[in-house]
Amino acid sequence: MAVCAARTGLRPPLKRMKPRKRSAEPHELRLTRLLDAPRPLVFQAWSEPRHLVRWWGPHNFTLPFCLVDFREGGAYKFCMRAPDGTDHWVWGVYREIVEPSRLVFSWNRTPASEPVNPWAVTLVSVTFAEEGTLTRLTLLQARFQNEEDCVDHRGGWTECLDRLTNCLLPVS
């Protein structure tokens, strides 16, 4: 499996994207963060809309639409709004929920008005491990069709996890 390298910046607006050639080798993205928060709280931040709207999306994005049916087989749908007003829709199905240690969900990312493009269909696994009073979060996004998509998602997820980290900081 190839693991994509870091790159800053986000994918251009989806309407300008060209179809990408499919690679024979699957690509995956793995990110790890050590968070200064208890595991149940970190898990809750991924499962409840009132928390998700505070951190989901890259820097300066908002989440004006957040629908969550948090159960195995339940669906989610988010609209991430970029600072320029461009909407990026993400939706999928929760495949596995093991509270408070693991989430697995499908990931589709295209405008709601377009059919699902093959590059956008991936699988995300998030694990939450206790390390004393800290939580080690590991995110694995698999089944990318090419390296470029994997690299683009690394930038978005890195900024997302930065925002989550900041949301979990203790208020002094």
- Res 120: pLDDT: 65
* Averaged pLDDT, 46-65: 96
Token pair listed for 72: 């195995």
Q: pTM for the full model?
A: 0.79
Lookup result for tokens 């595991």: 39
Find all residues with CB under 8 Å of 95, minimum gap 6, and list them. Answer: 72, 104, 105, 106, 123
* Averaged pLDDT, 24-53: 91
Task: Show the domains of the chain with their CATH numbers.
Answer: 26-168 (3.30.530.20)
22 burial (CB, 10 Å; 0-12 / 13-18 / 19+) is exposed
Per-residue DSSP letter, 119: G
